């Protein structure tokens, strides 16, 4: 067998094991119905914008759109997910198009960015399971 093919197969297996290990178990419909997902703080939009503005070239040009907070589970923690669409000017002075960011409001009052590929479950996905 070709040594490159063996390395490729081993790499794929390692990646699959890493992904499967990170997924964890999904919450049951009972947990979703009974768990306290909390609420986003009153100033969650300002807190999110402040976090994003730290990394923008021209934060004053930024335009934001926010989704409504929805029940979400990320990394085994319950909270509310907010999708944020950001469009800001780049170094050449033009707008670059919307960038999508995902944030979580946790029950302890923290507001944290989560990876858009983070495993989680939106409450809308559970509607079909009930």
For 62, left (φ over 0), alpha (ψ -120 to 50), or beta? beta
Contact (Cβ atoms closer than 8 angstroms) between residue 40 and residue 111: yes
For the chain, domain boundaries: 27-129
pLDDT of residue 67: 94
For 15-39, write each residue's pLDDT tens digit.
765 555 555 566 777 777 777 888 8
């Amino acid at each position: 067998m070709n040594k490159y093919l063996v390395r490729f197969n081993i790499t794929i297996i390692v990646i699959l094991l890493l992904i499967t290990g990170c997924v964890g178990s999904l919450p049951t419909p009972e947990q979703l119905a009974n768990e306290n997902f909390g609420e986003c703080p009153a100033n969650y939009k300002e807190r999110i914008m402040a976090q994003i503005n730290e990394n923008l070239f021209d934060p004053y040009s930024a335009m934001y759109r926010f989704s409504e907070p929805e029940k979400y589970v990320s990394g085994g923690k319950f909270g509310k997910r907010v999708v944020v669409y950001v469009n800001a000017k780049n170094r050449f002075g033009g707008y670059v198009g919307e960038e999508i960011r995902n944030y979580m409001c946790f029950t302890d009052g923290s507001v944290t960015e989560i990876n858009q590929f983070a495993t989680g479950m939106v409450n809308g996905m559970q509607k079909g399971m009930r």
